[in-house]
Chain A
Amino acid sequence: MIRQGNNFPLIIRGTRLVLRKTALHSAVNLRLVDLARVSNQKRWLEFEFTDEMSFTATKKKSFIPVNRFVLRSGCVLEFDAFASSATNSNVRSLPKGTEFSGDLAKNIENSPDLKLYVRPVDLETYWNVLGRQLEIDSDVSASSLRDSAYSDLIRGTFCEALDSLDTETIFGSAGVNGLRIARWFSLNPKFASILDSLSPPVTWYDHALNTAILSSYFAYSMGATEKVLANFAQATLLADIGMLDVDQELLNSISNLVPSQVRKLEAHVNLGFKRLAQIAAPNWMMLMIVYQHHERPDRKGYPVAIPEDLISDGAKMYAIVDRFLIHCGKRFPLQPSSITEAIELLESESGTHIAEEHFQCWKSIVLKSL
């Protein structure tokens, strides 16, 4: 763990970087938004990380922002960042050089859930570094993660399992698969802007990452082998890749959609399947997760409305985690529920929206981790 003073512990674990600002009794999360395509417009709030992996705090509520991140290995990573507040339900783009002070600092005090997102500018370097597991990663324990603001979802045995499951296992050997995914995304300039525009308060990218992590853990708990797990994680990350081909105005629309618009939105599963089949050589399980993750056991899903026995296990598992995260309020505009409430809501949906048998497995996994 790298520390700057006593008040600003900085934790980097795998792809997640968490900064806790304990002095203000609030947690500010800095999360490496990996995989997201890098924005060329450097309009986000910038932070400085020196070669000792620390940032400079000038006052209690402010610090000098620069966007260079020099690792001990000598690699330089650059980041773009933006701020978002779940309370205010908006995302603010901050001009280059904006100091973390004044109104923003006040907002932090008023919004304990304010999050700052940073994204790597040089994605390839980032992945190469990730492949080496960020030297600073070694002494981060599950307990430190458990204490973080993100811990409402990942704690208990889940954290322990995450500790034993490093990102190499989740995303494939030595980050190679991760790099491949990143390249896929970087081919699609619309991706980052779509993700950004789908805030607040949590971007679709976040949702993809959250779902991928939880789904991977689900698969791990069900005894998936490492190879299957790597494919599964990639597929769950890419499940909504078809959104790239959906009209952006439609995605931004917050009003009630008319049936023809709903149909266009639903087409993302077909488009995602098509895109994945064309740009890569995935296996059948991956294709089915992308294609069937909105199918329902009561045959009211889409795109084919197949019965439960024809839905692949991967798609059923993804669908459960997807809805679980929605109920946990990790997705706009629903109000967040506690994990227990989310499980109760899921229970009422099992057999109709989600597969009952798979849900029972998920329930036991989650309840065991509480």
Chain B
Amino acid sequence: MLEINSAEEFMNLIDEVPLLVQLTTQLAETLENERGVGESRFHEDRKFARHRCSLHGILECDANINPLLSNKKTSKVIIRDLSRNGFGVIAPEQWYPSQLVKLSLPIGQSICEVTRVRYHGNECFEVGLLVRKLIKYPQAEEET
């Protein structure tokens, strides 16, 4: 489990981790053109607007009740969008509903639950994450 205590540590780490996601041409174009508030996809009922962003984060598995859902994968992901209570990320591997994951971001870490997964291509899965807990880095908290 990654122990990151500051934005600086995160920035150093994120540069070292390779991005294994293989974006499909279509998805790459979409990511390129998407701006602002994202539209509702998959006929979903949204509570909070989804905002397009372009960030990298590190996704790793957190403690899961069922051992079958615990894996040791740690990967660099593209954060496609975020809303008040969730993230949409592009990950290189498939995750499964109810898996608990830890997402490391420049301002802190977030414990999330996987809610949906969509296949885009080989090593390209879109994963919907529901935020369970937000942990800001101490330094970031002081600044706030």
Q: Chain A residues in contact with chain B, CB under 8 A?
A: 259-260, 262-263, 270-271, 273-274, 277-278, 281-284, 287, 291, 299, 303-307, 310
Known: A287-B68, A306-B119. A273 touches B42 (CB 8 A): no
Report which of A260, A278, A282 forms a contact with B65, defined as CB distance below 8 A.
A278
Chain A hits for B66, CB < 8 A: 277-278, 281
> Chain B 95-124 against A: per-residue CB contact (8 Å), 1 yes, 0 no?
011100000000000000001111100000
Partner of A277, one of B42, B94, B98, B118: B98
**Set of chain A residues within 8 Å of B115, measured between Cβ atoms:** 270
Measured between beta carbons, the chain A residues less than 8 angstroms from B32 are none
Interface of A, helix, strand, loop or mixed by DSSP: helix
- Please tell me if the beta carbons of A274 and B68 are within 8 angstroms of each other in the complex: no
B interface size (C-beta, 8 A): 18
Q: How far is the CA of A45 from the CA of B115 in the complex (A)?
A: 44
A291: which B residues are within 8 A, CB to CB? 96-97
Chain B residue nearest to A295 (CB atoms) is: B119
Identify which of B68, B97, B119 contacts A284 (C-beta below 8 A).
B68
- B10 close to A (CB within 8 Å): no
A45 to chain B, nearest CB (A): 41
CB distance from B37 to the nearest CB of A (A): 19
A residues near B65, Cβ cutoff 8 Å: 277-278
Q: Contacts A262-B43, A273-B96, A274-B98 given: A304-B117 contact, CB under 8 Å?
A: yes
26 A-B pairs in the complex with CB atoms less than 8 angstroms apart? A260-B45, A263-B44, A270-B97, A270-B115, A270-B116, A273-B98, A274-B97, A277-B65, A277-B66, A277-B69, A277-B96, A278-B66, A281-B68, A282-B68, A287-B96, A291-B96, A299-B119, A303-B97, A303-B116, A303-B117, A304-B117, A304-B119, A304-B125, A305-B119, A306-B94, A310-B94
B39-97 contacts to A, CB under 8 A, are: 42-45, 65-66, 68-69, 94, 96-97
Quote the shortest CB–CB distance from A290 to chain B (angstroms). 10
Decide if A277 touches B68 in the complex (CB within 8 Å).
yes
Residues in B with CB closer than 8 Å to A270 are 97, 115-116
Judging by beta carbons under 8 Å apart, are B97 and A273 in contact?
yes
User: Which residue of chain B has its CB nearest to the CB of A306?
Assistant: B119
- Closest beta carbon of chain B to A271's beta carbon, Å: 8
- Contacting residues, chain B, for A271 (C-beta < 8 A): 97
Look across to chain B and name the residue whose beta carbon is closest to the beta carbon of A259. B43
Kindly list chain B residues whose C-beta atoms are within 8 Å of the C-beta of A262. 43
* Complex Cα gap A263–B117 (Å): 14
What's the nearest-Cβ distance from chain B to residue A267, in Å? 9
- Complex Cα distance, B66 from A283, in Å, reads 10
Minimum Cβ distance to chain A for residue B112 (Å): 15
With A277-B68, A277-B69, A281-B66 as given contacts, are A307 and B98 in contact (CB-CB < 8 Å)?
A: no
Question: Which A-chain residue is minimally distant from B113 (CB atoms)?
Answer: A274
